[in-house]
């Protein structure tokens, strides 16, 4: 197996020298030589970090991705070369694909398309490539996604060509052959098109709605169309109320409630009076909450307080998304009980901490301080973020203790929180973290000092400009520019907050989780539609082979409740943030 370093080393030999035209001034020639030298260095760094994608530790691969993003555009060609060669393990290819998705350079489109359609690649790789294409947010990416969303791809598209090459034309009038799309990829394409508001989504969605044996794809189609909020789709949603699957009916009603007018909401509310608690009812309540019906909001609050309910976390995230501050007392009660007794489902504590922080509930500060000191590691990370959003001065001593003695990513969260709190007396302590041995901690310290707004730390930040990790050096450069009052330095942060990119980031993680737990597997739609009672999957013995990439798609859930349990785990709050894992 060839090293990724060998695959990209040739790029260094192709680095063009500075074009020194005779009419350039001496200063311009120096600048051109400096630019060429800097590009050469960045290409060498890119080659090193592409090779680092092969490291076994997940943290090392994440750091490589962050560094490659910081090295763009010089990192694009080495990543494309690695992905095109296919000479490394699938997990390395997926890391390279993820890096290209973060960089969002159209030059990588052809190799991402090649990965998305390649049936020899594991499904998680193809899924990541598909979302990376969607994140380009342009017309060609939407055209490609429509092919996936329609369920059939021309065989010719299975051989994407590099820029500049020409595809051979077929002679005669032969009918173009097509290849069926994996159902999971089809759902991802449908949802991606809906999330970016694609006006051409309807034909592909209607073809998905005609699939009688695939309830989950029908549900994804209604969910995707619901993002459009197009009144012309009301009839289609009304037709979905007749679907034989309860969750599909609920998703159609959910889209209808968010799209239709007052009369539609009134009709849904009347139907609720005779409907028993179920996943379908929850989706109807969700839709009514979106249009401000107090009865629906009250029901969601009640569900968010129900112990061991599979919908508890989902109800809380819906209430967060609609910014229902009337739910805050309930969230406080649940978090208090969770911290004292721990008798709620996994993830509930994290969701409650996240919602209290995002809704900026200052009354919850004492509870969040308890979560910071007594909660699990994931809950501590969320609590640090929440206290930072609240600018809670009372949290400073506990946060400083975590910075000194906490786990890696707890320290990262604590540093960023200290920056948000904005107490300039902490500048010296934060400056010490710029010398930490862990790159994410150095990055977080630079972020914190930037938010602190203390110009005296610029010399300490300047030492990070030569940090061996480019993502740390890039953040230090940004922080220095902000502290010196230069403009145009926050473009990257503004881009990351873009609604479409946030939704697509959440979509990728959601469907990788669905793939992992099996709820998006090929039998899910049929199992849910027929309410098939299936025996539990056999336990793996020591000698049994592991599923592909450690994941399994063969689970069949015996009933709606089990499906909804996983829905609570992979909730993305409507695509507003990645799921709580």
| Position 94 confidence tier, pLDDT thresholds 50, 70, 90 | very high
| Average pLDDT for 343-358 | 84
Distance CA(483)–CA(496), nearest Å, equals 21
Distance CA(154)–CA(468), nearest Å, equals 45
What is the reported pTM? 0.78
| Position 28 confidence tier, pLDDT thresholds 50, 70, 90 | confident
- Per-residue pLDDT, 449: 93
| Average pLDDT for 224-235 | 91
Cβ burial 279-300 (10 Å sphere, 16+ → b, else e): bbbbbbbbbbbbbebeebbebb
| Average pLDDT for 149-176 | 60
Q: Which residue has the tokens 């979560």?
A: 371
Q: What is the pLDDT of residues 237-282, one digit of tens each?
A: 989 988 999 889 888 988 888 887 788 888 888 878 888 887 788 8
Q: Which residues contact 264 (CB under 8 A, 6 or more apart)?
A: 234, 256, 257
| Position 511 confidence tier, pLDDT thresholds 50, 70, 90 | confident
| Average pLDDT for 454-462 | 91
- List the beta bridge partners of residue 179: 153
- Per-residue pLDDT, 560: 38
Q: Which residues contact 156 (CB under 8 A, 6 or more apart)?
A: 167, 170, 176
Q: Are 304 and 319 in contact (CB under 8 A)?
A: yes
- Per-residue pLDDT, 298: 94
Q: What is the pLDDT of residues 47-62, one digit of tens each?
A: 999 999 999 888 888 8
| Position 349 confidence tier, pLDDT thresholds 50, 70, 90 | confident
Distance CA(568)–CA(514), nearest Å, equals 11
- List the beta bridge partners of residue 153: 179
Q: Are 264 and 291 in contact (CB under 8 A)?
A: no
- Per-residue pLDDT, 566: 38
Q: What is the mean pLDDT of the chain?
A: 79
Q: Are 85 and 7 in contact (CB under 8 A)?
A: yes
Q: What is the pLDDT of residues 401-457, one digit of tens each?
A: 999 988 888 898 899 999 999 888 888 888 999 999 999 999 999 999 999 888 889
Q: Which residues contact 436 (CB under 8 A, 6 or more apart)?
A: 442, 445
């Amino acid at each position: 197996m060839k090293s990724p370093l060998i695959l990209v080393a040739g790029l260094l030999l192709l680095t063009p020298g500075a074009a020194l035209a005779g009419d350039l001034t001496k200063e311009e020639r120096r600048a051109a030589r400096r630019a060429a030298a800097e590009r050469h260095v960045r290409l060498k760094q890119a080659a090193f970090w592409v090779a680092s994608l092969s490291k076994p530790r997940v943290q090392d691969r994440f750091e490589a991705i962050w560094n490659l993003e910081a090295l763009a555009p010089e990192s694009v060609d080495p990543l494309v070369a690695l992905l095109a060669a296919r000479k490394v393990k699938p997990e390395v290819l997926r890391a390279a694909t993820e890096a290209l998705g973060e960089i969002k350079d159209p030059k990588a489109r052809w190799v991402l398309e090649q990965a998305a359609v390649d049936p020899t690649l594991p499904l998680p790789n193809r899924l990541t490539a598909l979302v990376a294409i969607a994140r380009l947010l342009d017309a060609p990416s939407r055209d490609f996604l429509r092919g996936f969303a329609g369920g059939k791809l021309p065989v010719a598209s299975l051989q994407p060509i590099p820029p500049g090459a020409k595809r051979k034309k077929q002679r005669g009038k032969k009918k173009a052959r097509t290849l069926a799309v994996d159902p999971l990829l089809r759902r991802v394409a449908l949802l991606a098109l809906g999330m970016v508001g694609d006006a051409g989504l309807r034909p592909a969605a209607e073809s998905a709605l005609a699939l009688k044996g695939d309830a989950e794809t029908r549900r994804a189609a209604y969910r995707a169309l619901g993002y459009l909020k197009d009144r012309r789709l009301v009839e289609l949603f009304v037709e979905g109320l007749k679907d034989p699957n309860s969750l599909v009916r609920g998703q159609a009603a959910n889209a209808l409630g968010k799209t239709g007018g007052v009369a539609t909401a009134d009709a849904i509310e009347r139907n609720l009076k005779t409907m028993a608690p179920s996943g379908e009812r929850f989706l109807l309540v969700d839709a009514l909450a979106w249009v401000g019906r107090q009865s629906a909001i009250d029901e969601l609050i009640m569900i968010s307080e129900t112990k061991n309910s599979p919908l508890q976390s989902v109800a809380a995230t819906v209430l967060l998304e609609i910014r229902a501050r009337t739910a805050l007392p309930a969230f406080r009660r649940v978090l208090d009980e969770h911290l004292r007794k721990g008798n709620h489902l996994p993830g509930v504590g994290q969701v409650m901490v996240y919602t209290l922080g995002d809704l900026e509930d200052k009354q919850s500060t004492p509870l969040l301080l308890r979560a910071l000191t007594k909660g699990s590691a994931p809950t501590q990370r969320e609590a640090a973020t929440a206290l930072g959003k609240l600018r809670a001065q009372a949290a400073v001593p506990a946060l400083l203790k975590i910075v000194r003695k906490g786990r890696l990513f707890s320290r990262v969260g604590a540093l960023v929180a200290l920056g948000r709190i904005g107490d300039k007396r902490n500048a010296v302590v934060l400056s010490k973290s710029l010398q930490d041995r862990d790159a994410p901690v150095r990055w977080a310290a630079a972020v914190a000092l930037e938010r602190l707004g203390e110009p005296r730390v610029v010399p300490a930040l300047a030492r990070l400009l030569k940090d061996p990790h480019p993502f740390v050096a890039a953040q230090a450069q940004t922080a220095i520019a902000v502290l010196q009052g230069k403009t145009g330095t926050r473009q990257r942060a503004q881009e990351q907050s873009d609604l479409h990119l946030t939704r697509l980031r959440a979509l990728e993680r959601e469907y990788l989780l669905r793939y992992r737990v099996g709820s998006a597997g090929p039998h899910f739609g049929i199992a849910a539609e027929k309410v098939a009672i299936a025996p539990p999957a056999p336990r793996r013995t020591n000698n049994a082979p592991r599923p592909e990439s450690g994941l399994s798609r063969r689970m069949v859930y015996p009933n709606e409740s089990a499906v909804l349990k996983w829905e609570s785990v992979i909730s993305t709050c409507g695509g507003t943030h990645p799921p709580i894992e």
